[in-house]
Amino acid sequence: MDTLRALRILGLPPSATAAEIKDSWRDLAKVWHPDRFVHDERLRRKAGDNLQRINEAHEALRDYDPAKTPRLASRVRESVAIILGMGELGDPPPAPTAALPFAAPSGPIGLRRSLRVLGLGLRRSTGEAGTRRRGSATWLVVLVSVVALVLAVVSLLRSQQPEMTGRDVVAEINRLRTDPAGYAAMLEQTLPLYAGSELRRPGQITIRTNEGAGAVREAMAALRARAPLAPLEYSEGLSRAAADHVRDQGPGGATGHDGSDGSSMRTRIERYGQWGGGISENIDYGSLSAREVVMSLVVDDGVSSRGHRRNLLDPDIRVAGAACGPHRRYRTMCVMDHAGSFVPRGVTPKD
C-alpha cells in the first residue's frame, strides 16, 4: 500500500507524526472492530474488511517520516485534508450499546471528524424537513470546503514568495563576514541533507547539485581558515539598483547580470549615485530565506572560481544593498550589489 493511501485510510494529513498515526490507528480499530456488530452480519463483514485496511495502513506507515514529504504538495494535501477529510472508510454505522465490548472513543476529534458527525446526525433526520436540512447541510459543507480550498491555495502561493528583504540579506552577509568560523559550523549542519548529489531540505523540492556535499566541506574549510571581516554598511541606493534588476528579470524569468534594456551592473548602480573602490554583484535564484541565499553563494556549487563567495568576503568592499522578489522560472530571486564606497545622488562626497 502506498503512503498517501495509507494516510487517507487513517484520515491523516501528510504532516502526521508517529504518535498521531498510532492514535488514529487505535481509534479506528475500535470503531470498526467486528465485535461491535455481532447482531448484523452485513455490518460485521464490512467492519472486518475495514479493520484489515486499517491494519495494512498502519503497517505501511510504520517507518513514515513527514519531513520527506515535498513542501508544496504536503501543504496542499494537508489543507484539503483538514477541510474535506481524507478518510476512505466512511462514517461508522451506529451499533447497539449492548454489543460494545469496550468504550467508544471520546474527546476532541477535530474539524474533519466533527463535520462527519454533523453529516451523520443530519442523515438520521426523517421526513420532508429532514430531507431539506440534509440538502442544505450538504451544500453548506461544499461551500465552506471550496472557500477554504481557495484560501489555502492563495496562502500557498504567497508562501512561495521570498520571506526576506534586502536588509535581511545584507544582515546575513554580515553574519558571514564577522564570524566565518561560526558560519562554517552552520554549513556543517546541512551535510546530512545531502544524498549523493541531491540536496533534500525538509519540506522543499529536492535539488540536484553539481558537487554534492564535497562543495560544502570545501566551503567549511575555507571559512575556518579566514579571519573575520568588518560588516558592510547597508546602502539604500545600491538596494534600489538591485531592485531595478529584480523588477526587470522576475516577470519574464530571465537570468544573468544584463538587463533587458541593455543595462549592466555598473549602469544600474550609477543611476543612484557615485561608487568608488570597485563594485561587484551576486544574484541568487530559488532560495526562500536570507540564510539560504548566502549559504548557496558561499558554497558556490559548480562554480570553479568560487566567484560569488569571493565577492561576499572581499575585504575591499564596505557597503552593500540587496533586493528580492518573485521570479517566473525559479519562484524567487535576490540581487546583491557591493561597492568599496557609495555616495547617493544629491549628497556631497566627504573629503
Q: What was the pLDDT predicted at 69? A: 55
Amino acid, single-letter form, for residue 49: D
Q: What is the CA radius of gyration of the chain?
A: 29
Instruction: Give the separation between CA 45 and CA 25, rounded to whole angstroms.
Output: 19
Sequential DSSP letters for 270-292: HTTEEEEEEEEEEEEES-SSHHH
Is 312 in contact with 297 (CB distance < 8 Å)? yes
C-alpha cell at 163: 520571506
Going from the C-alpha of 299 to that of each of 43, 107, 291, 335, the distances in angstroms are 61, 50, 12, 17
16-39 pLDDT tens trace: 888 888 888 888 888 888 777 777
Instruction: Give the separation between CA 269 and CA 259, rounded to whole angstroms.
Output: 12
Instruction: Give the separation between CA 299 and CA 302, rounded to whole angstroms.
Output: 9
Answer yes or no: pTM beyond 0.85. no
Going from the C-alpha of 64 to that of each of 16, 124, 125, 207, the distances in angstroms are 9, 38, 41, 22
Stretches where the chain sits below pLDDT 50 are 70-72, 74, 77-87, 91, 93-129, 157, 159-160
Is 112 in contact with 11 (CB distance < 8 Å)? yes
**CA-wise closest residue to 55 among 16, 28, 88:** 28
Q: What was the pLDDT predicted at 347? A: 66
Going from the C-alpha of 307 to that of each of 62, 283, 302, 311, the distances in angstroms are 46, 11, 11, 6
Instruction: Give the separation between CA 19 and CA 267, rounded to whole angstroms.
Output: 58
Q: What was the pLDDT predicted at 26? A: 85
